[in-house]
Amino acid sequence: MLQENYYAKEDVSNSDLGELKVSPRRFVMRKQQEMQTKSGAMQLGTLIHQFTLEPEKFVMADVEPVSGKMGEYIKAYFELEKSGISEDKIPETAYAAAQYKETHTKPATVFKSFKNKPENVAFYEFLKKADGKVALNQKDRQIIEGCLMSLQGHKKSNELLFSEDESVETFNEKEIYFEQDGVNCKSKLDRVIVDHSFKTVTLVDLKTTSGPVYSECTPLENKTGILLRDWHVTGFMYSVLQYSYHRQLAFYENALKAEYPDYTIDSFIVAVDTKGAYDCAVYKLPAEWMEAGRKEITNLLSEYKQYKLTNAWNVKQGYEDAIIY
């Protein structure tokens, strides 16, 4: 199924639950695609994520783009070639698309410049090479390659992300649609490794971070029921709780249990730093965290069903009246 179809489906995802936890309005806004802005860090993280799992979808931008009307002419020429238009009509149509004016530059002059100047030809050839792919600029390329080298150089990360063991079945960006607590849900999992011989499924979730990758993580004696108070955590493991990655992993495991009911599920987070050191670490979350994630999913799905039943998406439950502390 195409990625755009995945995001178009009304099924509830972990990210949806994250918005619902903040407010029902944010949940509705997400579903209506009104919250489209991503930070630069998020965009870079997505690039690293996709390049690691699906490198065939990328191409390096090794030429300088041609700007101005000539750049528009070359892009139009390339698109027209793909459209099936008669070859003899392409130069004239591209000329019009670039909004040239014959009083300044004749069509034949533009076409000659396009075909004879090396920088124009190089840009056109790049467009052909990059067709249908994501072009990386030099800065992003350097960061992505640094992260990739670190991921490949780490023993466990390399085993989880890049192993080509033919005895197992592997999936990248695996989409699963399932039902939980009477709610239609969906998940897109980074990497799934299925061993049918031993009936095991390994989930691999790749995370990028601008903070420290290495962590301290120890349980405290006095329990409050709040993980950030019940555990001493630093570094990336603090981010796990801060951004509810434990709930995300639990949600993904629920999806896998629906897809592979008779299999044992195991899950790992692979974390890599994007700030120049490119440190990498692999984590398996404590069982207590995963159980807390599962409970939170159950509670949020219950909230979702109540909002849907009453169609009261304007105010978060419990905030209908004045809050007195």
With respect to residue 47, please indicate whether it lies within any of the assigned structural domains: no
How many domains, the chain? 2
pLDDT of residue 1: 42
Q: Decide if pLDDT at 192 tops 50.
A: yes
pLDDT of residue 34: 42
Q: What is the pTM of this model?
A: 0.80
Q: Are residues 122 and 252 in the same domain?
A: no
Residue type, 108: A
Q: Decide if pLDDT at 128 tops 50.
A: yes
What is the spatial distance between Cα 222 and Cα 210, in angstroms, rounded to a whole number?
A: 32
| 29-45: average pLDDT | 64
Q: Are residues 105 and 166 in the same domain?
A: no
With respect to residue 207, please indicate whether it lies within any of the assigned structural domains: yes
With respect to residue 67, please indicate whether it lies within any of the assigned structural domains: yes
With respect to residue 110, please indicate whether it lies within any of the assigned structural domains: yes
Which of 135, 157, 172 marks a domain boundary? Answer: 135
Task: Decide: 305 and 183 in contact? Cβ < 8 Å.
Answer: yes
Q: Are residues 94 and 229 in the same domain?
A: no
Which of 76, 105, 135 marks a domain boundary? Answer: 135
pLDDT of residue 133: 84
With respect to residue 55, please indicate whether it lies within any of the assigned structural domains: no
Q: Are residues 149 and 128 in the same domain?
A: no
Domain that holds residue 227: 3-42+139-310
| 136-144: average pLDDT | 84
Q: Are residues 230 and 305 in the same domain?
A: yes
Task: Decide: 171 and 192 in contact? Cβ < 8 Å.
Answer: yes
Q: What digits encode the pLDDT tens for the residues 58-80?
A: 887 888 889 999 999 999 999 99
Least confident of 5-9, 104-108, 166-170, 284-288: 5-9
Q: Decide if pLDDT at 132 tops 90.
A: no
pLDDT of residue 288: 97
Q: Are residues 232 and 88 in the same domain?
A: no
Q: Are residues 157 and 295 in the same domain?
A: yes
With respect to residue 53, please indicate whether it lies within any of the assigned structural domains: no
Q: Are residues 145 and 247 in the same domain?
A: yes
Task: Decide: 218 and 237 in contact? Cβ < 8 Å.
Answer: no
Q: pLDDT category, 318, cuts 50, 70, 90?
A: confident
CA dihedral 160, 162, 165, 166 (to 10 degrees): 120
| Rg of the chain (C-alpha set) | 25
Cβ within 8 Å of residue 274, ≥6 positions away: 41, 44, 45, 48, 143, 147, 208, 209, 210
Strand spans (E) along the chain: 58-60, 134-136, 169-180, 183-195, 200-209, 217-219, 231-233, 264-273, 280-283
With respect to residue 144, please indicate whether it lies within any of the assigned structural domains: yes
Q: Are residues 74 and 165 in the same domain?
A: no
| 115-122: average pLDDT | 94
Q: Are residues 277 and 227 in the same domain?
A: yes
- For the domain that residue 163 is a member of, what is the CATH number? 3.90.320.10
What is the spatial distance between Cα 26 and Cα 33, in angstroms, rounded to a whole number?
A: 10
Q: Are residues 292 and 223 in the same domain?
A: yes
Helices (H), 32-106: 40-53, 68-83, 90-97
Which of 135, 150, 170 marks a domain boundary? Answer: 135
With respect to residue 80, please indicate whether it lies within any of the assigned structural domains: yes
Q: Are residues 182 and 69 in the same domain?
A: no
